[in-house]
Amino acid sequence: MKKKLRFFFLAVSLPFASVVLGQHAPEKAGSIEDGKLVLKISLQWSVQQKTILAELYDLDSLLISAIFTNNLSYINDSTDWTAIPGRQGMIFLSKPIGIQTGAPPDRGIFLEVPHEAPLPPPVIYATYGANDFSGKNTFSYREGLACFVLPGYESAKSVFLSGSFNQWSTMQLPMIKTDTGWTACLVLPPGKHMYKYIVDGRWMSDPNNRKRENDGHRGHNSVVFCYNHIFSLDGYERARRVIVAGSFNGWNIRELEMEKTASGWQLPMYLREGTHTYKFIVDRNWITDPANPITRDDGMGNINSVIEIGDTHVFRLRRFANAERVILSGSFNAWNTGELVMERYEDGWRLPYVLAAGNYEYKFIVGGHWITDPANPFTAGSGDRTNSFLAFKPNHVFLLEGFEDAESVIVSGNFNGWSINDYKMVFRDGEWIFPIHLHPGRYSYKFIVDGQWILDPVNPLWENNEFGTGNSVIWID
Site for another protein in 279-318 (CB under 8 A): none
122 or 250: whose CB is closer to another protein?
122
C-alpha–C-alpha distance, residues 412 and 397, integer Å: 13
CB 277 within 8 A of CB 247: yes
Tell which positions 178-197 bind another protein, by CB under 8 A. 184-188
Cβ at position 169, least distance to another protein in Å: 6
Which window, 71-79, 174-182, 293-301, 389-397, contacts another protein (CB under 8 A)? 174-182
Cβ neighbours of residue 457 under 8 Å, at least 6 residues apart? 400, 401
Stretch that binds another protein, among 124-132, 165-173, 353-361, 448-456 (CB under 8 A): 165-173
Of 157-165, 243-251, 341-349, 446-454, which segment contacts another protein by CB under 8 A? 157-165
Cβ-Cβ contacts under 8 Å for 387 (sequence gap 6 or more): 330, 361, 362, 363, 372, 379, 380, 381
Q: Which helix (H) or strand (E) holds 11?
A: helix 2-23
| CA–CA dist 367, 384 (Å, integer) | 18
Of 76, 158, 263, 469, the one binding another protein by CB under 8 A: 158
Q: Strand, helix or coil at 165?
A: helix
- Which residue, 113 or 334, is less far from another protein as judged by CB? 113
The reply on whether position 102 binds another protein by CB under 8 A is yes
Taking the C-alpha atoms of residue 324 and residue 372, their distance in angstroms, rounded to an integer, is 18
The reply on whether position 19 binds another protein by CB under 8 A is no
Of the two residues 277 and 472, which places its CB atom closer to another protein in the complex?
A: 472
DSSP β-bridge partners for residue 273? none
In this structure, are residues 372 and 379 in contact, taking their beta carbons and an 8 Å threshold? Answer: yes
Binders in 445-474 for another protein, by CB under 8 A: 461-466, 468, 471, 473
Q: Is 108 in the site for another protein (CB under 8 A)?
A: yes
**Cis peptide leading into residue 345 (ω within 30°):** no
Q: How far is CA 48 from the centre of its chain?
A: 32
Q: Which of 441, 453, 455, 474 binds another protein (CB under 8 A)?
A: 441
Among 51, 76, 137, 169, binds another protein (CB under 8 A): 169
**Residue ranges in 41-100 that form contacts with another protein under rule CB under 8 A:** 55-58, 97-100
Contact between 177 and another protein (CB under 8 A)? yes
Q: How far apart are the first and last CA of the chain?
A: 77
Q: Which of 176, 291, 321, 341 binds another protein (CB under 8 A)?
A: 176
Residue 22 lies near another protein (rule: CB under 8 A): no
Q: Of 161, 226, 171, 170, which Cα lies nearest the Cα of 193?
A: 226
Choose which of 216, 293, 301, 338 interacts with another protein (CB under 8 A).
Answer: 216
Please say whether the beta carbons of 447 and 454 come within 8 A: yes
105 lies in the site for another protein, by CB under 8 A: yes
Tell me how many degrees the CA angle 244-245-246 measures, rounded to the nearest 5: 125
How near is the Cβ of 100 to another protein at its closest, in Å?
Answer: 5
Angle between helices 47-56 and 61-68 (to 10 degrees): 130
Distance CA 363, CA 68 (A): 52
Residue 7 CB partners (closer than 8 Å, separation 6+):
none
Select the residue interacting with another protein from 1, 5, 112, 334 (CB under 8 A): 112
Say if residues 156 and 234 touch (Cβ distance below 8 Å). no
- Choice from 71, 82, 166, 333 touching another protein (CB under 8 A): 166
Q: Does 4 bind another protein (CB under 8 A)?
A: no
Residue 215 CB, shortest distance to another protein, in Å, is 9
Sign (positive/negative) of CA torsion 30, 36, 42, 46? positive
Return the range that interacts with another protein (CB under 8 A); candidates 32-40, 240-248, 288-296, 365-373: 32-40
Residue from 35, 301, 338, 430 touching another protein (CB under 8 A): that is 35
CB of 24 to another protein, least distance (A): 16
Nearest to 332 by CA among 312, 305, 306: 312
The mark string for 114-143 relative to another protein (x by CB under 8 A, - otherwise) is xxx-xxxx----------------------
| Total residues at interface with another protein (CB under 8 A) | 84
Q: For CA atoms 183, 184, 185, 189, give the dihedral sign.
A: negative
Q: Are 131 and 146 in contact (CB under 8 A)?
A: no
Please state, in angstroms and rounded to a whole number, the distance separating the CA atoms of residues 64 and 45. Answer: 11
Residue 80 or 297 having the CB closest to another protein: 80
Contacts of 92 (CB under 8 A, 6+ apart): 38, 39, 40, 41, 83, 84, 85, 86
Q: Closest separation between CB of residue 475 and another protein, Å?
A: 7
Considering only 200, 213, 343, 401, the residue that binds another protein (CB under 8 A) is: 200
Q: How far is the CB of 278 from another protein (least distance, A)?
A: 31
- 15 forms part of the interface with another protein (CB under 8 A): no
| Nearer to another protein (CB atom), residue 140 or residue 167 | 167
Residue number with CB closer to another protein (102 or 293): 102
Say whether residue 107 binds another protein (CB under 8 A).
yes
What is the chain's Cα-based Rg? 31
- How near is the Cβ of 33 to another protein at its closest, in Å? 6
